[in-house]
Structure 1
Amino acid sequence: MAGRRGQIAAMPRHCPAPLPLLDLALPDAAATDAFAERLAPLLRGGDALLLTGSLGAGKTQLARAIIQTLQAAHGTPEDVPSPTYTLVQEYQAGALHIVHADLYRLAGPGEATELALDDLWDTALCLIEWPDRLGDAAPRDALHVTLAQDGEGRRLVLSSANDGWAARLKSLAPC
């Protein structure tokens, strides 16, 4: 694998598990969009967000709102369709290269390798739905975003094994 994060395949099995950083109730779609608007400015090239949750949990909605928020700072945001069938969609927000991938239809890491996402870990903002398909190739320092249906709304949990995320996300914590 290429890139500093692409070294994951050689990573020992005793790597630290992601630690919870934030746990929020998002009562409706508007709350999900509002959270994305607060998160987006904290993201940069080289970041990977691994979006996990069941079908309909809000992964694509969150990714769409992040992408459109970043693009709005540089003009009119694009339409952001789900990449379920295309697998990977790419966007620009000023100089920031954004990759939105939906790996749901892949059988596993072998097929994910063919997408060459590891070539982008160091430079692009990568929003990856169904990251379990990456296996050991998932970037170790990613921000794990877990979404679950919670009544009429959603529960969002952010976690990471990378200590740097805690400081960057501090402003997102509820008062």
Structure 2
Amino acid sequence: MFSTFQRIQQYWGFVTTVTVFLAAAISISSVIQEHYFVDIPRVSINVQSIDVRYGKPHIGYNYKRQEYSLMKFDLEADLTPLFTWNTKQLFVYLAATYPGKPYANKVVVWDAIIRSKEDAVLSLSDMTADYSIYDVTGKFNGRNATLSLEWNAQPYVGLLTWNKGSERERFEFPQPATAR
């Protein structure tokens, strides 16, 4: 009555349908679990030093002389509550936010990928920032800034979730070390 090809096609359609509904159920349960049952991690940030220099920042396409900032910091974070049964990895980064015209500037200073729950306890002291900060105007002018730990939880199945830590460290950009 049915050919072998038709039977394989029906079986494959059934398996595909079940897989899609199973993935949707996993995704929905992960979102519910994250919003209601996951604790906010403990985070502590301490800016050790900020060095503003005048020169070429040695990154990107911008070769003009301008002010750029290098920083050292301490970071203590326990991100183990973010690892659930559906968490594949965490993308964690420190972001510096400071006012600018016409919009506020947000710059990533340090980042890491955490692949397991065992590696989710961060204890960094006197860490040098991976990336220098420079402004499009070329000057910081002693602006106030905020440093915060943020993360992106990447699940095996489901939507990416972006969150911000509750700890924020405020600092001010000093005047450049060398005169112009």
Flag the structure with larger Rg.
Answer: 2
TM superposition score category, shorter chain reference: under 0.3
Q: Which has the higher contact order (CA 8 A, sep 6+)?
A: 1
TM-score, normalising length: structure 1: 0.25
